[in-house]
Chains A and B, each alone.
Chain A
């Protein structure tokens, strides 16, 4: 249940950074932020900063490198939240 909440919350965070030709309905757990959702690397940083605020966690450079897909992001959020 908590996972589903994270997922919905994450979709809400990503939504304003989507380019015009991608909608929130195109997001799936497997979506690659850069290759499939067409989010540029500068906006991906903003998504990470918003994720940090929303989930009260801090991401490191390694986490950023690993965060390629929506489910990668979910796994990082889950790991950081549970180690708090």
Chain B
């Protein structure tokens, strides 16, 4: 499956799309990156006159790359799918944070599948910065499926 096709199927758009590119996608995991533009609106308030990317946004970035992109790929192995009927729900996150991410930084996320069963995908995720320092890591899980008609 073409990596760009996976990104096209993501149910997000600006200002809440946190995936730029995918560099690896396979049955066992995925890697991708995102550049945090200096113009992102939340930098005006987090923190006052001292912009740092919020941890929840780093978690979201890990989830979009690590869970949703991987989930779309795994589902594509089983189903002929349309673009508009994907349903995702974040169900759990346990993250630890090590390095700050500043406006303009690019981050690299790698995700390793723990299991994908009955539409629940659970992964180990790690995020690195351009200096290859660990930014955050943890375990994320969510439900992902293509709805059938009427369901």
* Interface residues of A, Cβ cutoff 8 Å to B: 40-43, 45-46, 48-49, 61, 64
Contact = CB atoms under 8 A, between A and B. Distances in A.
Interface SS, A side = helix
A42 B120 CA distance: 6
Which size bracket describes the interface of B in this complex?
Answer: 10 to 19
B76 interface: no
B89 to A, nearest CB: 7
Interface of B: 89, 91-92, 115, 117-120, 141-143
A40 B91 CA distance: 9
Contacts of A64: 118
Given A40-B91, A42-B89, A42-B92, A49 B143 contact: no
Interface on chain B toward A: helix, strand, loop, or mixed SS?
strand
Contact of B117 (A40, A41, A43, A49): A49
Nearest to B142: A42
A49 B141 contact: no
A48 B91 contact: no
B143 A42 contact: yes
A64 B143 CA distance: 14
A46 B139 CA distance: 15
Contacts of B119: 41, 45
Contacts of B143: 41-42, 45
B91 A42 contact: yes
A63 to B, nearest CB: 9
Nearest to A63: B118
A83 B67 CA distance: 35
A41 B142 CA distance: 10
A48 B92 CA distance: 17
A43 B120 CA distance: 9
